Amino acid sequence: EENPVPAGELEPDVPLNVKFIHQIHFLSSADSISALVARMVAEIPMHTLLRVFSNHVSYFRASEAMHFFLRIGIVHSYEEAVLLGQFLQLTGAIQPLNPRGEFPSAVKFIFSNPGSVEEH
């Protein structure tokens, strides 16, 4: 007699990325993404890049975002934290300071539309 798979869980041999995509399906709505980004803005420490001939830029480190994801329990491993960061980059919610960088190898990231999120 086979044991049924509990609701919300997948078979153990399903690849990690498929399990993870299943796990974060609730982030597919714009509201959920903006809620997560708003919480990131409120809770992730920002650093300032001083530029001589243009405006200063506030950025956060990829590692800080990954620690945040783990701390709030939205992910359960380093690999999932990387995937969530890449997912947010794909949605355009965050972007690297280096335009060709990919999360998390591009260390410094900015929020793509910080004006749309309330500052705390």
Residue 103 and residue 85 in contact, taking contact as beta carbons nearer than 8 Å: yes
Question: Tens-digit pLDDT profile for the chain (120 aa)?
Answer: 455 544 445 556 666 666 666 666 666 666 788 889 999 999 999 999 887 777 888 999 999 999 999 999 888 899 989 999 999 998 899 999 888 889 999 999 999 876 544 433
What is the extent of the structural domain holding 28?
A: 16-116
Domain annotation covers residue 1: no
Domain annotation covers residue 8: no
Determine whether 120 is exposed, middle or buried from the number of CB atoms within 10 Å of its CB (0-12, 13-18, 19+).
Answer: exposed
pTM given for the model: 0.71
Assess whether the previous peptide bond of 104 is cis (omega < 30° from 0).
yes
Domain annotation covers residue 9: no
- CATH number for position 99: 1.10.10.10
Amino acid at site 24: I
Of 44, 75, 72, 61, nearest in space to 103 by CA: 61
Q: How many domains does one find in the chain? A: 1
Domain annotation covers residue 97: yes
Four-residue CA torsion sign, 100, 105, 106, 111: positive
